[in-house]
């Protein structure tokens, strides 16, 4: 029998992208809820309890409610794309490349928290340097980022795209999260293995999908006389042997004049760069991804495949 998959929130931005990725698959059976019934709690509860894997693409509160709906049913496994469970130690963190044993943890888990889009970039850059001992636990990390506007879900997409919207967004690029209390900070700290919360400044650009995450570092404040070369080496060694996260060659990075935020739009990959000049005091670590690809729906499908292998 084919495993049954239910995407709760399938008519939203992340849910639709997962559905598109599943369209050609005949190894799974997709359970579906009509769009007009998407908030019908009774029907959702039935579908959630009929699934082998339920993928939640809902706001945090609704995701918690969905988890409660299957609490007594051990045969349902969950992937939650919301922020609700990302630092909960009872949930496996769904970033398969973050540690060698992570794919196994995800495969065997009942509950998997899909990582946030910005944290995928930040943790992807920071964690290997913490594990290699180059980055001190208490380094004052800053994370500056730009996301495509689909990161804001249906509401922001309408503000950007709909003519005559009552609250349109005209800015080609804007900063937000100005209180510095963004919901992704705890996740970056915990899975980035940091003792201090990073200072995170997000922004949105007037393009639908794409993301740049930057983590600038002062080399003199790192361990082991860290250099452009040793940082690149640590990242390359960490990601060797898989094909989703690419650590861009130092020479290639040195010859680049610019990084295009939309280069990886519509892909499920991530590129990591180490920028700077040999012998100079700073490096800038950069992650490039699609906020809806490796940053959300692509990672969710990757996690589902790992869980179905178990
Ligand atoms: N967009 C992105 O780049 C990313 C999003 N995520 C996460 O994915 C989740 C969904 O976000 P996104 O797809 O962007 O949001 P959207 O607003 O685009 O979609 C959310 C969907 O959930 C439905 N919904 C809302 N509340 C309920 C409820 N109580 N019961 C049932 N259905 C409900 C909405 O219906 P309605 O139309 O009626 O509101 C909508 O269809 C969020 O938790 C977000 O953090 C994760 C990574 C990246
Ligand atoms: C542009 C934008 O608004 N982005 C969202 C982050 C994307 C999201 O909601 O999802 P995850 O938390 O699951 O990554 C935000 O800053 O709240």
Q: What's the ipTM? A: 0.96
As for ligand 2, residues whose beta carbon falls within 6 Å of it are 81, 83, 116-117, 147, 151-152, 184, 202, 204
Q: Evaluate if residue 164 carries a pLDDT over 80.
A: yes
Exposed (0-12), middle (13-18) or buried (19+): which is 306, by Cβ within 10 Å?
A: buried
Tens of pLDDT, residue by residue over 230-252, are 999 999 999 999 999 999 999 99
Which H or E element spans position 288? strand 282-289
| pLDDT for residue 239 | 98
Q: Can you identify the CATH homologous superfamily of domain 117-294? A: Dihydrodipicolinate Reductase; domain 2 (3.30.360.10)
Q: How far is the CA of 170 from the centre of ligand 1 (A)?
A: 23
| pLDDT for residue 171 | 98
Query: Would you state the structure tokens that stand for residue 310, as one six-digit string?
Result: 């178990």
| pLDDT for residue 126 | 98
Nearest atom of ligand 2 to the alpha carbon of 202: 16
Contact status, residue 298 vs residue 16, Cβ threshold 8 Å: no
State how far the alpha carbon of 278 is from the alpha carbons of 112, 219, 220, 227, 231, in Å: 40, 11, 13, 8, 12
Please tell me if the domain spanning 4-115+296-309 has the same topology as the one spanning 117-294: no
Query: What confidence category does residue 124 fall into, taking pLDDT thresholds of 50, 70 and 90?
Result: very high
Query: What confidence category does residue 32 fall into, taking pLDDT thresholds of 50, 70 and 90?
Result: very high
Query: What confidence category does residue 16 fall into, taking pLDDT thresholds of 50, 70 and 90?
Result: very high
CA dihedral 185, 191, 193, 196 (to 10 degrees): 10
Average pLDDT of the segment spanning 29-51: 98
Q: Evaluate if residue 182 carries a pLDDT over 90.
A: yes
| pLDDT for residue 310 | 76
Q: How far is the CA of 75 from the centre of ligand 1 (A)?
A: 25
Query: Would you state the structure tokens that stand for residue 80, as one six-digit string?
Result: 């939650």
Tens of pLDDT, residue by residue over 58-70, are 999 999 999 999 9
Find the helix packing angle between 41-50 and 60-69, rounded to 10°: 60
Tens of pLDDT, residue by residue over 89-116, are 999 999 999 999 999 999 999 999 999 9
Query: What confidence category does residue 173 fall into, taking pLDDT thresholds of 50, 70 and 90?
Result: very high
| pLDDT for residue 276 | 98
CA distance 120 to 141: 15
Which string of DSSP letters, residue by residue, matches 203-260?
EEESSSS-EEEEEEEEGGGSSTT--HHHHHHHHHHHTTT-SSEEE--HHHHHT-S---
Does the global pTM surpass 0.90? yes
Q: What is the residue extent of each domain of the chain?
A: 4-115+296-309, 117-294
Mean residue pLDDT of the chain comes to 98
Ligand 1, atom 40, lies closest to the CA of: 12
CA distance 214 to 202: 10
Nearest listed ligand to the Cα of residue 289: 1
CA distance 159 to 172: 12
Question: What is the Rg, in whole angstroms, of the alpha carbon atoms belonging to the chain?
Answer: 20
| pLDDT for residue 186 | 98
| Start-to-end Cα distance in the chain | 15
Nearest atom of ligand 2 to the alpha carbon of 204: 1
Which H or E element spans position 298? helix 298-309
Tens of pLDDT, residue by residue over 197-234, are 999 999 999 999 999 999 999 999 999 999 999 999 99
CA distance 99 to 208: 30
Q: How far is the CA of 250 from the centre of ligand 2 (A)?
A: 30
Question: Is there a catalytic annotation at residue 117?
Answer: yes
Nearest to 277 by CA among 234, 230, 227: 227
Q: How far is the CA of 35 from the centre of ligand 1 (A)?
A: 13
CA distance 184 to 172: 23
Domain spanning 4-115+296-309: CATH 3.40.50.720? yes
């Amino acid at each position: 029998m084919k495993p049954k998959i239910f995407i709760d929130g399938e008519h939203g931005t992340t849910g639709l992208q997962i559905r598109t990725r599943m369209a050609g698959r005949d190894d799974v059976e997709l359970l579906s809820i009509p769009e007009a019934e998407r908030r019908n709690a009774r029907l959702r509860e039935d579908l959630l309890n009929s699934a082998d894997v339920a993928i939640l693409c809902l706001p945090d509160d609704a995701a918690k409610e969905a988890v409660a709906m299957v609490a007594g049913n051990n045969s349902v496994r969950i992937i939650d794309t919301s922020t609700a469970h990302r630092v909960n130690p009872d949930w496996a963190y769904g970033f398969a490349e973050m540690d060698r044993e992570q794919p196994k943890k995800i495969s065997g888990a009942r509950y998997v928290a899909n990582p946030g889009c910005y944290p995928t970039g930040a943790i992807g850059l920071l964690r290997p340097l913490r594990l290699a001992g180059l980055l001190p636990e208490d380094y004052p990390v800053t994370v500056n980022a730009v996301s495509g506007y689909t990161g804001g879900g249906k509401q922001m997409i309408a503000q950007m795209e709909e003519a005559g919207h009552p609250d349109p967004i005209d800015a080609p690029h804007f900063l937000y999260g100005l209180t510095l209390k963004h919901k992704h900070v705890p996740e970056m700290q915990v899975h980035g293995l940091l003792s201090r919360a990073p200072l995170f400044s997000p922004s949105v650009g007037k393009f639908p999908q794409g993301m740049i995450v930057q983590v600038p570092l002062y080399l003199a404040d790192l361990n082991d006389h860290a250099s452009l070369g040793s940082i690149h080496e640590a990242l390359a060694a960490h990601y060797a042997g898989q094909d989703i996260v690419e650590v861009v060659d130092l020479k290639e990075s040195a010859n680049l004049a610019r990084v295009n935020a939309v280069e990886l739009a519509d892909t499920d990959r991530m590129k990591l760069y180490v920028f700077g000049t040999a012998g100079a005091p700073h490096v800038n670590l950069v992650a490039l991804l699609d906020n809806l690809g490796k940053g959300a729906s692509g990672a969710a499908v990757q996690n589902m495949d790992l869980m179905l292998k178990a």
